[in-house]
Structure 1
Amino acid sequence: MTTSSITPSPVVITHGRAWTDQDAGVRLGYTVATATDNPDKTVLLLHGAPQTRHAWRHVLAPLAEAGYRVIAPDYRGAGDSSKPRDGYDKWTMAGDIHHLVHTVLGLEGPVSVVGHDLGSMLALGYALRYREDTVSVTFMEAPLPGTDYYEERKVAKSAWHFDFHSNPDIAVYLTHGKERWYVQRFYDDLTYQPNAITSTDLDVYARAFEAPGAMRALCEIYRELDHDAELHRAAIASNGKLTVPVLASGGGAQALAKNYLRMCQDIAENVRGELVPDCGHWVPEEQPEKFAAMFVAFDTNARR
């Protein structure tokens, strides 16, 4: 494990990379933020696509100041993490994250899990696989594999990228050398607050997906989604729906947002719906203060 720290008082932000134990050669990049020496609660932030843990940059300090140990990893295939040829089902990816949290970082007890976009799909796999290690789950801006809404959404014309990414050879070939333009298309199409993602932020994301293997890894994550749906349905059939409190959220300006509550009721028993006003798809970047306040209020109630 390697780490480096910067300290903008009172929040300490540490960056590192660590090997997982379940798959030789897989290393995860991560960020940890704290405002006290030993926070008594932890939140795990799982980013979406085409993004990296940079997506959480604006909410690290507010959540740390609210008393959380904040852990924001790059999941396998993204950012500073390894980009192997396989292992992109969310069950396996959840194993990477669980090892990072509880073995590498040595945390005991359950954590609150927040997912955005593809990170929500990973958050579902994590919560179903590690029920005893999960306090609450916040799902944002994604159709969750294993739900009826996922089956509806994946065949919609506006969800063209699901099929496109599921054919890695085609997608990688057609986007090669055009990664920056391709990444920017998603921000141009799905952002409600136009200044939320700057050219500097776009540089970060573009570099990440120009890296060798990054676009193929992204495609492999999508190619596994139908498999994920099978895994999630099987887990619910065997062990029931999630019983921890669940927040179904998204950007209030998104036309799809009205579907999230009923979707989460397919996979969880205790669901609260709340949308973030004046916000498009990129919730933690477009409305970081509103997101942080919403999450803290929800999670505080979940821990009672």
Structure 2
Amino acid sequence: MVDDVKADEVAVRTRDHKDFWDILQIVLSPLGGLLTALAVASLGYMGSRTIERQQSNEAKLRLYSELMTRREESEATLRKEMFQSIIGSFFDARSEQLESKLLKMELLAQNFHEALNLVPLYEHLEREIATSQMSAEAKRGYAARLGELAREVTRKQMIVLEAGGKRFDWTVILSDSLTAGTKSEQLEDVELTLGGITRRFRVTLSGADLVRRELRVGLEIETPAQEGVSGSAASRNSVDFPLGFFSTPMIDNTRLSSDQRVAIVLTDMNDFGATLSLVYFPGSRASLREKPYYEEILRKLSDTTIGPD
């Protein structure tokens, strides 16, 4: 009898326990579906927002690219028309006014100095000034204006080249023997490192023309054997050239191995002394007309693909 009562109590508790879980299941089943629906909706909303933001950014980027392309095309068209108009005037027989030619030279130099070698035009105007029938004072004024234009172009280029390269300056006293061309003068050697490559530069002056404001310069470049430099790139070579105010570093430079350049600039000169600068810079900052060799492009692509160890 007692056992039957206990069995009934256990059965009642079991039934009550099942009823509780059944009720809980009934209550939570819709809630679980609701939570699942909310989770799916939230994920869908966040996903759609992400896609919308991505599409919006892509649309803005396309718009910006189109605007920049149109701007560059408009600028290129304007520069082309300007260049054709200015350069044509130098060969127009009816254009005889020196003031007009000098003004056009200023426009040409200020807008196209990164792409053109302007030395022939500088020298042409210099000869026209010297042979003109104007007064000596007017000639000096035009010559000073032309020289200042050349120095201003050089200053602009030096700012660009220094930002990605290295610079070294010398101040030289012009001796009588140097101006006479009977004795050369060697300047202080300089060692500079750019892009992990160290080079030594030696500058020698062999003459000075005080009338034309020019120096005769010899430049010796030594690339010693070092890590990261191939055996063929380790070498010593030299160049000799006239240096005046009309020479610009982006155009008048010496090509080195590993797509690098070096240029000497005459920044100031009078009857007593001169100031020179050496700028050592990557080829990417050279004149727009300077194109890297095919082998240099392949080497850069290979270095980029492999990357540092």
TM range (shorter): under 0.3
TM-score, normalisation: structure 2: 0.23
- In our comparison, the structure showing a higher alpha carbon Rg is 2
Structure with the largest fraction of strand: 2
